[in-house]
Copies of this chain bind each other. A is one copy, B any other.
């Protein structure tokens, strides 16, 4: 558990709107509303969940804004075991995600060992590695403890 990030370190905090403005986009009310929601949702969310949570914003806008945040690096896109897309706030440092297959909660971890291994693999595998995807699926402690539902 030592490397698991459960609290939000102030220094790592991301301001989605500031980043948006930096890349030449307007901080519209819809985008701000969405950004505010993102920051409360450490457990991640699907596009559909956002649509339900913010019915006053059009579907198209929500999808467009998620894309915008993705390309700005504010969000990262990850995949459930069945491949369904889910989104979570990005941290500035590189990390990977764990997804609870029972309650869906997303956490993140970073481990230098993983990074080292990935780098080492780069020299063993022909071709030029451009990126990777890695997600751990687990049953989280809360679900194991039965402290949820």
Bound complex: CA A113 to CA B139 (Å): 24
Evaluate contact between A2 and B128: CB separation under 8 angstroms: no
Evaluate contact between A129 and B120: CB separation under 8 angstroms: no
Contacting residues, chain B, for A138 (C-beta < 8 A): 125, 127-130
Contacting residues, chain B, for A98 (C-beta < 8 A): 125, 127, 129
Number of copies: 2
A4 within 8 A of B: yes
Interface size on A, residues (CB 8 A): 40
Q: Can you report 18 A-B residue pairs in the complex whose CB atoms are below 8 A from each other?
A: A79-B133, A83-B83, A109-B121, A109-B125, A113-B121, A114-B121, A121-B136, A125-B138, A126-B140, A127-B139, A127-B144, A128-B139, A128-B144, A130-B137, A130-B138, A130-B139, A133-B133, A133-B135
